[in-house]
Amino acid sequence: MSAAASTAAPGRTGPRRFAGSRAFRRRRAMVGLLLVSPALAFVGVFFLAPFVLMIWMSLHKWPLLGHTSWAGLSNYAAMGNDPMFWRSLAFTVEYTLIITPILIVVGFGLAWLIRERRRGVGFFRTVYFMPYVIGFAAASYLWVWFLNPGVGLFDKTLQALGLTSSPVQWFSSRTLALFAVVLMIVWKVVGFTMLLFMSGLQGIPDDVQEAAQTDGAGRWATLWRVTLPLLRRTIALTVILAIVGSMLAFDQFYIMTNGGPNNQTVTIVYWIYDSSFVNFQLGYGAAMSVVLTVILVLITSVQLYLLRDQT
């Protein structure tokens, strides 16, 4: 009865309100669709369509110049017999594993140092962030000059300090070449990581930390048990950005090491570029790009799962 009463009451005005609500919802949905349509069109034109085309290309023998022909999965099968594919993929993973923790730790350290508004802190924030606004190509060329054995800043400084007696050939060994690129990337990118952490740190209310300290937590305990857990989302974001960026590394190796010595610093994107635009095998390059996309999606999914907000 009460149920009937409760449904009867709106029943009088129900049809009109229901109709109005449905129209309103439809209109709202239309407006919503209209508002997101530029973004949808953008994603459709600049991501989905090229991605579908890339998959289509990967199923063809597609030379840059000349006729294309159906190849089925042969481009994918060819990766199995291509030592450079595996070598470049392994090197890219190694580079990512090296650079990501460095970026996170150094970025967090810098953010920690300059998180509070103090005299002169703005200067350091600007200095640390400034390299980020330089493009990768320009930064790479700048560092090629820094590291030039004849005229570079590094060797002159090292020799002036008596640390080396002769110019260092920075790109003559795999280790030195990788070290040089890592150094350049940390210099260039860490400012952005710092900025993300700074914003995360500023989002933690002071009273939370004060409460922890009132409860007897020391500085390290507060950092480990309060600050870092509260930075979980920021950490997730920086880790994802660092890993995806590193897995897609190209410019710095193309310009600084040329893939050398002896092809030991060729990244997977470098090899995709080489296969597509030097060897003119667009189909094979597209197949490798599809595989790389799948790898990145998997890595990002695992990361998001592991770093998900469990509260």
Q: Name the site residues for another protein (rule: CB under 8 A).
A: 63-66, 84, 148-150, 166-167, 169-172, 258-263, 266, 270-271, 274, 277-281
Rank residues 149 and 245 by Cβ distance to another protein and give the closer one. Answer: 149
Q: How far is the CB of 293 from another protein (least distance, A)?
A: 22
Single out the residue of 273, 253, 232, 289 nearest to residue 54, CA to CA: 289
Q: How far is the CB of 294 from another protein (least distance, A)?
A: 24
Continuous segment of H or E residues that includes residue 125: helix 121-129
Q: Which two tokens stand for residue 9?
A: 């009451």
| Single-letter code of the amino acid located at 151 | V
Q: Phi then psi for 47, rounded to 5 degrees?
A: -125, -55
Please list, in sequence order, all residues whose beta carbon lies within 8 angstroms of the beta carbon of residue 65, skipping any fewer than 6 positions away: 280
Rank residues 258 and 303 by Cβ distance to another protein and give the closer one. Answer: 258
| Single-letter code of the amino acid located at 242 | A
Single out the residue of 228, 219, 238, 220 nearest to residue 201, CA to CA: 228
Rank residues 45 and 64 by Cβ distance to another protein and give the closer one. Answer: 64
Q: How far is the CB of 38 from another protein (least distance, A)?
A: 23
Q: How far is the CB of 80 from another protein (least distance, A)?
A: 14
Task: Give the Å distances, CA to CA, from 170 to 155, 157, 167, 184.
Answer: 10, 14, 9, 12
Continuous segment of H or E residues that includes residue 4: helix 2-43
Q: How far is the CB of 184 from another protein (least distance, A)?
A: 16
Q: How far is the CB of 277 from another protein (least distance, A)?
A: 4
Rank residues 82 and 212 by Cβ distance to another protein and give the closer one. Answer: 82
Rank residues 42 and 277 by Cβ distance to another protein and give the closer one. Answer: 277
Rank residues 149 and 300 by Cβ distance to another protein and give the closer one. Answer: 149
Count Cα atoms within 13 angstroms, Cβ side, for 96. Answer: 22
Cβ distance 250 to 270 under 8 Å?
yes
